[in-house]
Each structure stands twice: as C-alpha cells, then as structure tokens.
Structure 1
Amino acid sequence: MASSSSSTFALSSSSTLLDSKAPRQSASPSSTVPLPTLPSPPAPSTQIRPWKSTAYCRRIARNVMAMATGEVPAEVATVEMAELPEIIKKVQEAWDKVDDKYAVSSLAVSGFVALWASAGVVSAIDRLPLIPGLLELVGIGYTGWFAYKNLIFRPDREALLQKLRETYNEIIGSS
C-alpha cells in the first residue's frame, strides 16, 4: 500500500523553509553569467574568390565550344598529355583499339556485378557459426598438400613451372 503524506511548508518573512530544507536561491540579475558569443561562420570559398570559379567555368565553356566545332584547344591537348600517367595512356590506347566497345563495357559491368555478388556470398558464409573455421582448415590442408606435392622437390617444382609456362602461352598465344 502506498501511503501519502502531505507536508506543509511555511515561509517566514526571511524566505526560509521551516522543514529543514535549504532555501531556494533566486537568481538576481547581477549574478548571471553571460554566454560567450560565437564567431561568425566562415564564408564559402566561392564567395571569397568568385573570379577563380568564374574563370574556370569560362575556360570549360570555351573548351566545350571548341570541341563542338571539331577543333581541340591547344591548352587542353598539352595539359592532357603532360598530366596523364603512362598506365592511363596505355589504357586509352587499348580502348581506342577495341572494335566492340559495347561488349567490352558489358563484360566489365558484369564482372563488377559478379565480384560484388561473390563478396556478398563470402560475407554471408562468414556469418555462419562453424563454416568459416572449417573452410580455414580446408584451406590450410590444401596449401600443405600443394606445397608437399609441388614445391618441396626439385623435379616437381620444374614440372609445375613448365605447366605454368604452357598455360600462359596457351592463354596469351605466344611461344
């Protein structure tokens, strides 16, 4: 059972409580502490230097207009060739040699989707309770067997290297 008790408070002329609790202090205007003012937020970089973004946009628009007419601006051609690493140049040359770009693009997208799906399958298997440990043991066992069978003795190593060279030449097509 809950008992309810009521206590009465009486205030005297000096604003103190009679039931032995500390009096509540009222805040006077002189005892308030002002909060520090926050600094104004920094202006965005486009407002500080609008001429840079405007010049950049004008340069892009000029290059687009030049390319639409069929001419390549000299500054674009020199900048592109000077800044590109060698690997990107090789990739661009290989892409220019491709006849069926649609098929290559489709193959690349499907490869990316397959890689993404296989990562999802692996992560789903990894969440199962006993399977990751079992697969790890299988991997360790197969690695040990492969090393014993192909890497320990010299004739086995030479046979493995010969097989790898044959497979490489079969894929590449050179001898």
Structure 2
Amino acid sequence: MEGRMSTSKAKHTRSAPLLVKASSSDETSLDANELFTDLKEKWDAVENKPTVILYGGGAIVAVWLASTVVGAVNSVPLLPKIMELVGLGYTGWFVYRYLLFKSGRKELTTDIEAIKKKIAGTE
C-alpha cells in the first residue's frame, strides 16, 4: 500500500511542471499573434504586391524542383556516395584554404564584407 501511495504522490508532483509548460505555450501563442500582426503591417506596406507574390511562387517552385532533382539523384545506386565524397572533399579544401591559416581567414572576412556591400548597395 505504501508503494502505491508514494507512486501517486510522485505522479502528483510530476504534473506541476506540465502546468508551467502550458502557461509558456500561452506566451508562445501571444508571440505568434504579434508575429502575424507584424507580418500584416509589413504586407500592407508593400507597394508592388504582384511582384512579391510572383517571386514567392517562383521560390516555392524552385524548392519543389530542387527536391525532385535531389530525390532523383538519390535513387541512383552509387551517385549519393560519390556526391558525399565530393562534398567532403570540398569541405576539406574550404577548411584548408580559408579557415586553417590566419591569412585565409582574413581573406574570407574581406570577401564576405565585399559581398555584404554589394547586396546592400553601399559599394
């Protein structure tokens, strides 16, 4: 009998953290509502909505197409392993070229900054 009582007490004390988790999910839903209102405000501020919709649709189609291509490549028996070896080789080259030595890290940093300036249009 005592074993059952201690088990029921343990179950009772375990349920308390679940109540805390439930209240944190309420906070998450409030954050989601704020997110939706922010997105709605930004969408209302967009002037050229058809272009944004076209680009979004194009991005979705591109992701779907890439997924299809990757699935097709993955179905070829030996090709995924070869691609994995190519990826590992490129990763090793990148680490050796840009991350291993201080001069390479500095070059990578300047290249990244130049790309940021091109994207931002401040160049």
How does the TM-score come out when normalised to structure 1? Answer: 0.49
Q: Compute the displacement of 1:159 (Å).
A: 1.1
In the alignment, what sits opposite 2:84?
136
Which residue number corresponds to residue 158 of structure 1?
106
Are the structure 2 counterparts of residues 82 and 118 from structure 1 closer, same or farther at C-alpha, using a change threshold of 3 Å?
A: closer
Q: 1:166 to 1:131 in 2, by over 3 A?
A: same
Q: For 1:10-89, what aligned pairs fall within 5 Å after superposition?
A: 84-85=33-34, 87-89=35-37
What displacement does 1:121 show?
0.7
The one of the two structures with greater contact order (alpha-carbon pairs below 8 A, sep at least 6) is 2
Quick one: percent identity of the two aligned structures?
A: 34
Letter in 1 for 2:116: Y
Give the structure 1 partner of residue 58 of structure 2: 110
Equivalent residues, number: 94
- The alignment partner of 2:106 has SS state of helix
Pick aligned residue for 1:125 from 73, 76, 99: 73
In structure 1, C-alpha distance between the alignment counterparts of 2:32 and 2:55, rounded to whole Å: 29
What secondary structure sits across from 1:99 in the alignment? coil
Matches of 1:82 and 1:134, distance apart in 2: 45
Alignment gaps of 5+ in structure 2: 1-29
**Superposed displacement of residue 146, structure 1:** 0.6
Q: CA RMSD in A?
A: 2.1
Find out whether 1:95 has 2:37 as its counterpart: no
TM-score normalized by the length of structure 2: 0.68
Q: Specify the structure having the higher radius of gyration (Cα).
A: 1
